[in-house]
Structure 1
Amino acid sequence: MTPIGTNELFFLMQGLKWTLALTVIGFIGGGIFGLCVALARTVDNPIGRRVTAGYIAVFQGTPLLMQLFVVYYGVALVGLDIDAWIAVAIAFTLHASAFLGEIWRGGIQAVPKGQTEAAKALGLHYVSRMKDIVLPQAFKISLPATIGFLVQLIKGTSLAAIVGFVELSRAGQIVSNQTFKPLTVFAIVGLIYFLICWPLSLWGAGVEKRLQTASR
């Protein structure tokens, strides 16, 4: 058996780097598209609401693993050759946009309607109402759920290995195969995930508690 040394630990850190990079890209890209989805879900246009409702239903009703397969192999069927990094980034962005869009839709609808009606009475147009009044409150209301989804997204990056993307879990598998010490290697991998996700979970719980206290 090969001992776990600095080279193996460095390889795990390289996998962690790509796990964090994929999380950031998926969360930011998903946040941008998710905001568009949330706004489309709350407008008066019934077509926009139905289209985005269907979009959310597809991504919430299917496994992330299947979505990765469809994006990675689906683009190849139409003649496009993309590497695993781009395919995974697209899949995670689409996945995150559906979940964040629904989370933020709930936050927007949780803002008291009286504030929107007052803004209309003052003559504020839609962009000003959303930017200055509704969205700041909606994001604050939905922050605990947003943090919770971020934690799930970090852990979900482990599925990217199925299309050949080497992130933390896949790096752990490679090191395990080289050292024949799966228990030790995956204990280290699990500890890394825990050190990332646990503080975020505590933060989300703290934010939720403060919001509950402020609403009393």
Structure 2
Amino acid sequence: MGLGEFLFLLTGLKWTVALSAIGFVCGSVGGLAIALLRTSGVRGLERLAAGYIALFQGTPLLMQLFVVYYGLALIGLHLSAWVAVSIGFTLHASAYLGEIWRGSIDAVPRGQTEAASALNLKYTSRMKDVVLPQAIRISLPATIGFLVQLIKGTSLASIVGFTELARAGNIVSNQIFEPLLVFGIVGILYFLMCWPLSLYGSHLENRLAVASR
């Protein structure tokens, strides 16, 4: 494999990182909204958020990407592969992060919320200043674990023609007929992205376990 092919793989790596970042950042915004709806105490909003989570957790990511890219085209909304997969991964991430953070909010000791209410703090201040800082700390290991899964899941974006790392590897493999070498390099690149995050997530989990004793 020559320099040109390796640089093409790095271009695919760049788009994998970009897609992961967009899906995670935009999904975090949506996930926070979902988590707040799930813990709002308003039954209608809680059911709506629960239905959203059930929809995206109960269907394959591959199908979700298909629906966004091909389904919207059927009603006249033609999106580029980049925009379609960004939307698909954002919706997917918001459902999972919303449930992770809902669990973290519920894990905050009830006494904290009761104390904030006793101090006559409004809902916004109670969540922003008391509950969410603790919930975010609790959720960090699971959130990082989901980010690792999201990075690996970007390989499914190739199904709609988006050239990320896995598709770039497939293209190079078909050109030079050395699949073992090419996908070995692709695997190493995925490992270099995911392994440090996994280690960091385990480190945070151990720290939280020690602090809770």
One-letter amino acid matched to 1:209: N
Q: 1:78 aligns with which of 42, 54, 75?
A: 75
One-letter amino acid matched to 2:15: W
For structure 1, the 5+ residue unaligned runs are: none
Report 1:8-47 matches (<5 A).
Answer: 8-47=5-44
For structure 2, the 5+ residue unaligned runs are: none
What is the TM-score normalised by the length of structure 1?
Answer: 0.98
Q: 1:50 aligns with which of 23, 34, 47?
A: 47
Tell me how far apart the structure 1 counterparts of residues 41 and 34 of structure 2 sit (CA, whole Å).
14
Q: 1:96 aligns with which of 87, 93, 106?
A: 93
Tell me how large the CA RMSD over aligned residues is: 0.5
Distance apart, 1:44 and its partner CA = 1.0
- Please identify runs of 4+ aligned residues in structure 1 that moved more than 6 A: none
Encode CA deviations 1:24-70: one digit per residue, 9 max, x unaligned. Answer: 00000000000000000001100001011010001001110000001
Determine if the alignment matches structure 1 residue 200 to structure 2 residue 205: no
Distance apart, 1:176 and its partner CA = 0.2
One-letter amino acid matched to 2:140: L
What is the TM-score normalised by the length of structure 2?
Answer: 0.99
Distance apart, 1:125 and its partner CA = 0.5
Tell me how far apart the structure 2 counterparts of residues 125 and 78 of structure 1 sit (CA, whole Å).
44
Quote the residue 1:171 is aligned against: 168
2:163 aligned counterpart, secondary structure? coil
Distance apart, 1:77 and its partner CA = 1.2
Distance apart, 1:152 and its partner CA = 0.1
Quote the residue 1:122 is aligned against: 119
Tell me how far apart the structure 1 counterparts of residues 115 and 36 of structure 2 sit (CA, whole Å).
19
Report 1:132-147 matches (<5 A).
Answer: 132-147=129-144
Tell me how far apart the structure 2 counterparts of residues 178 and 74 of structure 1 sit (CA, whole Å).
32
Distance apart, 1:163 and its partner CA = 0.1
Tell me how far apart the structure 1 counterparts of residues 52 and 89 of structure 2 sit (CA, whole Å).
14
Distance apart, 1:80 and its partner CA = 1.0
Distance apart, 1:123 and its partner CA = 1.0
Quote the residue 1:150 is aligned against: 147
Determine if the alignment matches structure 1 residue 63 to structure 2 residue 60: yes
1:71 aligned counterpart, secondary structure? helix
Tell me how far apart the structure 2 counterparts of residues 41 and 81 of structure 1 sit (CA, whole Å).
33
1:206 aligned counterpart, secondary structure? helix
Encode CA deviations 1:79-123: one digit per residue, 9 max, x unaligned. Answer: 111100000000000000000000000000000111111111111
1:44 aligned counterpart, secondary structure? coil
Tell me how far apart the structure 1 counterparts of residues 31 and 74 of structure 2 sit (CA, whole Å).
27
Distance apart, 1:78 and its partner CA = 1.2
Identity of aligned residues (%): 69
Determine if the alignment matches structure 1 residue 189 to structure 2 residue 193: no
Matched length: 213
